[in-house]
Amino acid sequence: MELSPEFNSPYIPVQKIEDPLLEDLGTSLSILRTDLIHPVVSGNKWFKLKYNLIKAHEQGKRSLLSFGGPWSNHLHALAEAGRLFNFKTIGLVRGELATPLNSCLDDARKAGMLLEGISRSIYREKDNPDYLRSLQQRFPDAYLIPEGGANREGVQGCAELNLYFDENQFDLVCMACGTGTMLTGLATTSAIPLLGFQILKGDNYLNRRISNNLQKFGLSSHCEWSINDTFHFGGYAKTTEELIAFISRFERVNKIPLEPVYSGKMLYGLYELTKKRDFFPQNSRIMIIHGGGLQGKRGFL
Ligand SMILES: *Cc1c(COP(=O)(O)O)cnc(C)c1O
């Protein structure tokens, strides 16, 4: 499969964050704007899809099937990628499909995705090999991608993210983590340490999951990495007035859009740690990966 240059190695701007609030705090923050890759197929979800699309094509599959919640950035990107690269797409959505569809699923359906709501109890089987076999029988032509693009190909795509900035100019890379796929990928290639902000509640689950991923895929980490789990704001997609106020101010001052599920929590956390003054070594140069996912913001309006 031939990917055009804008998808194979997209141009991703790096922007310096010049926020008066951070002046004299001894860190400099820059952000890799993966949200600008493409209006829909953007963010880390594009990197997680890239090698999945290539592999599906190699296997002669003509459709792509995956899973997600009703505001899934992953299903949204998958639907549009399918439209752009001529795959049929099937989205299995957690819970009943609402009528009318929300704007995320409405976009996906308009891009051609076949949507099916599945009960929460069946959704829990989304990684169970027996269930996946039964889906493969029902959709023989489908290439199956796990929720969030969290497989070996997803890791492989994210491993390329460090090619988009000069590692010599930074001391640390920060990112928001859900499944930890992006961090797993970067851990295999990055020359500088990584700090992941866990946006789901749950003791230490990401540390375990990332270590398991590395082992399962026969990969090893190339750098130090760690997870901060204190800025989840009560759990996945949970917000507080303080978080929303932080995001509005950040967007106004820095002219960079955020969403409250991932990038808003990461930046909130990063600002808090920076304000402690002694958390990061003096004059730390920090690269932040903007994960994209701005469509999900519509779920909060
Ligand atoms: C999916 C997503 C993440 C998390 O990526 P993982 O690889 O699942 O850890 C971070 N930010 C945004 C905007 C996302 O959509």
Q: Where in the chain is the domain with CATH 3.40.50.1100?
A: 5-41+152-300, 44-149
Question: Hey, which of 182, 227, 288 would you mutate to test ligand 1's pocket, going by the most ligand atoms within 8 Å of its Cβ?
Answer: 182
| Mutational pocket test of ligand 1: of 262, 265, 295, 298, the residue with most ligand atoms within 8 Å of the beta carbon | 262
> Tens digits of per-residue pLDDT, 270-300?
999 999 999 999 999 999 999 999 999 999 8
73 CA distance to ligand 1 middle (Å): 8
Give the Cα separation of 95 and 51 in Å (integer).
29
Residue 213 has what pLDDT?
95
Angle between helical axes of 103-110 and 73-84 (0-180°, round to 10):
20
Chain Cα centroid distance, residue 142 = 23
**pLDDT for residue 39:** 86
- CATH class of the domain whose range is 44-149: alpha beta
**Rounded CA gap, 253 and 275, in Å?**
17
Distance CA 152, CA 28 (A): 33
Q: Does an H or E element contain 267, and which?
A: helix 263-275
pLDDT below 50 — which residues of the chain? none
Query: pTM, whole model, 2 decimals?
Result: 0.96
- Check residue 116 and give its pLDDT: 98
93, 116 contact by CB (below 8 A): yes
For residue 2, what pLDDT is reported? 83
In 3D space, the residue among 119, 120, 49, 34 whose CA is nearest the CA of residue 80 turns out to be 49
Token pair belonging to 289: 């990966």
Instruction: Give me the CATH code for the 5-41+152-300 domain, please.
Output: 3.40.50.1100
pLDDT of residue 6: 86
Burial of 109 (0-12, 13-18, 19+ CB in 10 A): middle
Whether residue 177 has its Cβ less than 6 Å from ligand 1? yes
